[in-house]
A = this chain, B = another copy of it.
Amino acid sequence: MTIKLTDLESGVLGVIRQQQPCSTYAVRRAFARSPTREWSDSAGSIYPAIARLVRLGLIRARARKADARGRRDLCLTKKGEDALRRWITCLDAASSTPDPVRTRLHFLELLETSRERAGFLKRAEVLTRVAIAETRAFLKEERAHAEIDYWASLGGLYQLEARLKWLKRVAAALNLP
């Protein structure tokens, strides 16, 4: 059975992979820095999450010797890299997070070839277009019967269209077709 990661766990893996070797606190700081607050930076969520990932063998933790504070160096294992890669590439419509594309894009470097990266962006684009079509259909019904819900839901459409624009810009910037 394949391991199913939560978004927080995936974010943890991703940040560790970017900064390894690093401490739990470094991950926390990285999460806290982000203006969009994609992941929770509370100790009560991160420490248990990392303990889980160590238990699952996705992270290796090595105590620094002669460190009075008991800091540990965290690194991804091979298994951890695989799990992270799987999370990135298994991007689907059922994702519960506000922006599953953006959270994954942070770790795009884990995909080695241009082909894989372009594939990710393409899949993201298709998903977004599907969502746009669905939202448009929904808005059509909605308009007729509930004015305010129409305007509220229109916000979702604007967000999706912005995502599409952003994806194009990212693809161009990264030289991906």
Residues of A participating in the B interface, judged by any CB pair closer than 8 Å: 18, 33-37, 96-99, 101-103, 105-109, 131, 134-135, 138, 146, 148-149, 151-156, 158-159, 161-163, 165-166, 169-170, 173-174
Q: Is the CB of B156 within 8 A of A36?
A: yes
Chain B contacts for A146, CB-based, 8 A:
18
**Number of copies of this protein chain within its complex:** 2
* CB < 8 Å neighbour of A163 from B105, B106, B155: B155
Chain B contacts for A105, CB-based, 8 A:
148, 151-152, 155
Chain B contacts for A156, CB-based, 8 A:
35-36, 102
* CB < 8 Å neighbour of A166 from B138, B158, B165, B170: B158
Chain B contacts for A106, CB-based, 8 A:
148-149, 152
In the complex, how many angstroms separate the beta carbon of A66 from the nearest chain B beta carbon?
A: 30
* CB < 8 Å neighbour of A99 from B97, B155, B163: B155
- Known interface pairs A35-B134, A36-B156, A169-B154; A148-B108 also in contact (CB < 8 Å): yes
